[in-house]
């Protein structure tokens, strides 16, 4: 099993570039991140190469995060900005050897009809997928629960799957976040099984709380074993918020690191 530390949510006590070494020090060979765009890709690539780390996922730029923006893809009047975000994301992915790019949809304004937003969203996803396909990259879309992200456009995995099927792009896949599925009240293993052929990337945080495995109510051992038995061979992104110091949030990982359950090494 491959676990990928999300360096945007873990090791935040350290500067961004220093987090990669910390992931390596704790026995990981895979990482993911949300938005690396404040750091030159060359600097990140140097860290990855020196530490022999694989970066498996990043997000496309998603607008002004500090102002509450969570994606650009549903806004018909922001196409130029979306194109620039797409170009920037591809530039980083190619420089860093990242296979998966997540496109956030956006928060639906009250004055934007949902059907109009969906039409725009599907055009943007199709456009992004076509651009990524040229480079052999996969575009992911992720249902996100409305409690953590109120107003987010895409919360329904059935809708996400239908969009993927309607588009018919082989490089558009689901990003399956166990935490969000649990917060949405879904049976996380049954739902994964239902959509397994469409899933390219899995993320995990315990629920409730969004902390490390073992801090909430999810049977993480059973979930990880289930994913392995289903034949999922991608990385499991650890997009959790440590309940204390980041370095103290990996006690659950000991049994996987030792190899008894197929650890990351």
> Tell me: the pLDDT tens digits for 22-49?
999 999 999 999 999 999 999 999 999 9
What average pLDDT does the structure give for the chain? 96
pLDDT of residue 258: 57
Burial label for 166, CB within 10 Å (0-12, 13-18, 19+), is exposed
Q: Is the pLDDT of residue 263 over 80?
A: no
Tokens 């599907």 map to which residue?
A: 122
Tell me the C-alpha distance between 20 and 7, whole Å: 7
Please give the share of the chain, as a percent, with pLDDT higher than 70.
97
pLDDT of residue 264: 52
The 10s digit of each residue's pLDDT in 101-124 is: 999 999 999 999 999 999 999 999
Q: Is 118 left (phi over 0), alpha (psi -120 to 50) or beta?
A: alpha
φ/ψ of 61, rounded to 5, equals: -50, 140
pLDDT of residue 259: 53
pTM over cut 0.85: yes
Residue scoring higher pLDDT (151 or 259): 151
Q: How far is CA 69 from the centre of its chain?
A: 17
pLDDT of residue 170: 98
Could you give the residue numbers annotated as active site?
142, 239
Q: Interior CA angle at 4 toward 173 and 189, to 5°?
A: 55
> pLDDT grade, residue 58 (50/70/90)?
very high
Task: Count CB atoms within 10 A of the CB of residue 170.
Answer: 10
Average pLDDT over residues 74-98: 98
pLDDT of residue 260: 46
Please give the share of the chain, as a percent, with pLDDT higher than 90.
96
**Are the CB atoms for 237 and 202 separated by under 8 Å?**
yes
Tell me the C-alpha distance between 262 and 52, whole Å: 19
Alpha helix locations (H) across the chain? Answer: 18-25, 41-51, 79-96, 114-133, 157-167, 178-183, 188-195, 220-229, 254-257
Tell me the C-alpha distance between 72 and 75, whole Å: 6
Tell me the C-alpha distance between 41 and 55, whole Å: 12
pLDDT of residue 257: 81
The 10s digit of each residue's pLDDT in 203-260 is: 999 999 999 999 999 999 999 999 999 999 999 999 999 999 999 999 999 999 855 4
**Are the CB atoms for 105 and 121 separated by under 8 Å?**
yes
């Amino acid at each position: 099993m491959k676990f990928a530390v999300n360096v945007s949510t873990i090791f935040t006590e350290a500067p961004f570039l220093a987090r990669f070494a910390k992931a390596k020090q704790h026995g990981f060979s895979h990482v993911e991140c949300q938005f690396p765009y404040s750091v030159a890709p060359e600097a990140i690539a140097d860290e990855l190469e020196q530490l022999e780390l694989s970066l498996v996922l990043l997000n496309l730029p998603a607008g002004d995060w500090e102002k509450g923006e969570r994606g650009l893809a549903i806004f018909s009047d922001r196409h130029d900005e979306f194109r620039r975000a797409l170009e920037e994301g591809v530039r980083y992915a190619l420089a860093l050897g990242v296979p998966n790019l997540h496109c956030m949809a956006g928060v639906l304004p009250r004055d934007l009809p949902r059907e109009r937003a969906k039409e725009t969203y599907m055009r943007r996803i199709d456009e992004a997928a076509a651009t990524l396909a040229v480079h052999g990259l996969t575009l992911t879309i992720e249902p996100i629960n409305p409690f953590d992200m109120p107003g987010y456009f895409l919360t329904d995995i059935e809708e996400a799957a239908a969009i993927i099927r309607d588009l018919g792009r082989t490089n558009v896949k689901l990003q399956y976040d166990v935490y969000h599925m649990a917060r949405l009240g879904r049976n996380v293993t049954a739902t994964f099984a239902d959509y397994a052929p469409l899933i390219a990337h899995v993320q995990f945080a315990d629920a409730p709380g969004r902390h490390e495995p073992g801090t909430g109510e999810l049977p993480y051992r059973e979930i990880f074993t289930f994913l392995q038995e289903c034949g999922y061979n991608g990385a499991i992104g650890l997009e959790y918020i440590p309940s204390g110091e980041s370095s103290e949030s990996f006690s659950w990982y000991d049994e996987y690191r030792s190899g008894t359950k197929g650890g990351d090494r």
